[in-house]
Amino acid sequence: MTQRQTLTTSALKSGACLIASATPQDRATFLNSLTDDQIAALPYLFTFWAMPHQLPPEGDWRTWVIMGGRGAGKTRAGAEWVRGMAEGVTPRAAGRARRIAIVGETFDQAREVMIFGDSGIMAVSPASQRPKWIAGRKQLQWPNGAVAQVCSAHDPESLRGPQFDALWADELAKWAHGHDSWDMLQFALRLGEHPQACVTTTPRNVDVLKDLLARDSTVMTHAPTEANAANLAKGFIDEVQAKYGGTRLGRQELEGKLLADVAGALWTPQLLADAQSDQAPHGMRVVVAVDPAVSSHSKSDACGIIVAGALTDGPVSTWRAFVIEDATVQGATPSEWAAVAVEAFERHSADKIVAEVNQGGGLVESVIRQISDLIPFKALHASKGKARRAEPVAALYEQGRVQHLRGLGQLEDQMCAMTTSGFQGKGSPDRVDALVWALHELMIAPSLKAQGRPQVRGLGR
């Protein structure tokens, strides 16, 4: 960008803000009034075109984490941040940073995505300030003397020695040696008056990212994939939402949410990702399982309500179950959650409602009977702990015998927090409890009966 282009940026932005809502004729008049230099500068005014999550937050921060879904514009934001640090107001004027580290999971990924990618540094830089790529030295060199060293996070020891005043780290949550590599880079980020780092990453539940986000010197911006829909291929959003929308994997990869994984969990994100199904078959035996809440105020445990079905023709090993709906309600009175359970029963043409009655005694059946006295109801009694009841159900998933329809994200979050030692999430695993009762009634109890074995005490009688 030339000096003339730079000096007109403020006026150009002001005019563009006004013209965006003008008539087509007024917009054409405005564009025709611009000089060739001003028109050439338009694509490079990132502060105008950027979405909010792509702009650095204000304040005295050391690390800015841009966390988002796939295609949310993270790479473009990182490349523009580097450009903003390296460039001066003219091609030869000094910028804020002179020594920059550009670090990817591997060197090849850093070069192909961060440097030469469609949203990489070379693509977003105007010709007058575009850096030169020095392949032999793995460096970018700007006309004003700023230098960026391209590094790989794969070998933490290779990051010893260099020093920088700015750092762009891409996909930190995927780094094989995340903590070690990040620690080495922190030692290297020691030049200038206020060295800063920009981290662009899709979230994963890894310690290096969680520790970084917990620091007072870290700021974070976030966006889902849909935020950048205008710049993605036509149909991409619909395609990935159809396949991953409403799943735990979709919340991580599309919504850009950091989901907690728990060591020793009975269910893992991958196990649940493998269990996804687009539709349930016809002809299933369907039950609505209820795990009633003890109280009904807004902060009380939820009343878990899960609808599931199963095909149980043929040998036991061929039986398959499908979790159809999570109708769980929070803070509902007994009559309210009973109404929800009955509505789910009728909506899915279920065979029966099953419910744990340890805490509610005869209340559960009585409130359901107040709504409909014709619904088949089965009371279930628990004598074992939640984790022990859940273990045989988790085994069904490991055998690939249970599938989930989409939209069960909150249930899946609870499942991934249930361990052999108990539930490690917040509150009570109401949704998981209802799931366990449903699948026990559909799969475990009938299989024990088919094999001539007594039901396992504590799972239901």
- Cα–Cα distance between 380 and 55 in angstroms, integer? 55
Find the range with the poorest average confidence among 67-71, 200-204, 232-236.
232-236
Of the ranges 165-174, 198-207, 404-413, 425-434, which is most confident? 165-174
Mean pLDDT of 275-295: 90
Tokens of 33: 């009034």
**Which of these, 279, 222, 213, lies nearest to 254 by C-alpha position?**
222
With a cut of 90, say whether residue 222 has pLDDT above it. Answer: yes
Looking at residue 308, the DSSP 8-state letter turns out to be E
With a cut of 50, say whether residue 6 has pLDDT above it. Answer: no
Residue bearing the bigger pLDDT, 403 or 251: 403
Q: Which residues contact 338 (CB under 8 A, 6 or more apart)?
A: 364, 367, 368, 370, 371
* Number of C-beta neighbours around residue 195 at 10 A: 18
* Number of C-beta neighbours around residue 352 at 10 A: 15
Using 50, 70 and 90 to split pLDDT, how confident is the model at 263?
low
Q: How many residues does the chain have?
A: 461
Using 50, 70 and 90 to split pLDDT, how confident is the model at 229?
confident
Of the ranges 53-57, 61-65, 207-211, 313-317, which is most confident? 61-65
With a cut of 60, say whether residue 398 has pLDDT above it. Answer: yes
- Give bridge partners of residue 100 from the DSSP assignment: 148, 166
With a cut of 70, say whether residue 244 has pLDDT above it. Answer: yes
Mean pLDDT of 4-21: 45
Residue bearing the bigger pLDDT, 92 or 141: 141
The pTM of the full predicted model, rounded to 2 decimals, is 0.62
Torsion of CA 227, 232, 235, 238, to 10 degrees: -30
Using 50, 70 and 90 to split pLDDT, how confident is the model at 220?
very high
Q: What's residue 436's pLDDT? A: 95
Using 50, 70 and 90 to split pLDDT, how confident is the model at 283?
very high
Where are any strands of DSSP class E within 15-95? 63-68
Q: How many CA atoms lie within 13 A of 30 on its CB side?
A: 18
Q: What's residue 122's pLDDT? A: 96
- Cα–Cα distance between 185 and 208 in angstroms, integer? 13
What is the average pLDDT value for the chain, to the nearest integer?
86
Q: What's residue 207's pLDDT? A: 86
